[in-house]
Amino acid sequence: CATCHNGTTATGKSASHIQTTESCDACHSTTSWITAGFNHDSVVPGTCATCHNGSTSTGKPSGHLVTSASCDDCHTTSAWTPASFTHSSPNYVDHGRTISCSSCHRSTPESAANAWSNATYAPDCAGCHANDYEPGEHRNASVSSLRDCAGSCHKSTPEHRATKRSW
């Protein structure tokens, strides 16, 4: 392509084109030049930021979760959104329902570290749910004594589970 599309014989790359050594037909076709696409199949996992750095190609937006994880830890090239992440932290509790990232990652911009709403009780249930504590329901007990919600009442059974919110 570049033999003719060199800016002299025929129109070449614009000044705003991403920097690349790839041939034109790696992203463009002769039937639909404007709808460019890139086949990410041969991209090595974990190397997204090599190109997606904000200058070669679009990088993380300013409000993105602060993380050192690779783009492909949460995103795919076939469907960039919604992002998904598999938590490996021993402190992560699967609530059995979809909760937003900002439910736990409350800083602005969001950080990969959990900003516990009640850090005194972290990493137990009360680290997030101390404000849900109802003293009338917990006679002669304090939030601190029930901080892990695993007392005689709170057992994970089909009738009593976090997703039903009926502890």
pLDDT tens digits, 97-116: 667 777 777 666 666 666 67
From the list 162, 161, 163, 130, the residue with the least C-alpha distance to 145 is: 130
Which contacts (CB < 8 Å, 24+ apart) does range 162-166 have?
Answer: 162/93, 162/95, 162/96, 163/95, 163/96, 163/97
**Angstrom distances, CA of residue 159 to CA of 36, 98, 148:** 53, 20, 19
pLDDT band at 27 (very low <50, low <70, confident <90, very high): confident
For the residues 31-44, what does the mean pLDDT come to?
A: 81
**What is the pLDDT at residue 128?**
78
What's the pLDDT at 15?
A: 84
**Is the pLDDT higher at 11 or at 65?**
11
Torsion angles phi and psi, residue 42, rounded to 5: -95, 5
> Distance between CA atoms of 164 and 85, rounded to whole angstroms?
23
pLDDT of residue 28: 87
Residue 160 has pLDDT above 70, yes or no: no
Q: Ranked by mean pLDDT, which of 31-35, 48-52, 141-145 comes out on top?
A: 48-52
Given CA atoms 73, 77, 78, 83 in this order, what sign does their dihedral have? positive
Distance, CA of 75 to CA of 73 (rounded, Å): 6
pLDDT 10s digits, 132-151: 777 677 677 777 777 776 65
Q: Return the number of other C-beta atoms located less than 10 Å from residue 159's C-beta.
A: 8
CB 73 within 8 A of CB 85: yes
Above 60 in pLDDT, residue 14? yes
- Give the pLDDT score at 9: 93
Q: Give 40's pLDDT tier (boundaries 50, 70, 90).
A: confident
CA atoms of 159 and 166, how far apart (whole Å): 8
* pLDDT recorded at residue 167: 44
What torsion, rounded to 10 degrees, do the Cα atoms 131, 153, 157, 132 define? -10
| Share of residues in the chain with pLDDT > 90 (%) | 1
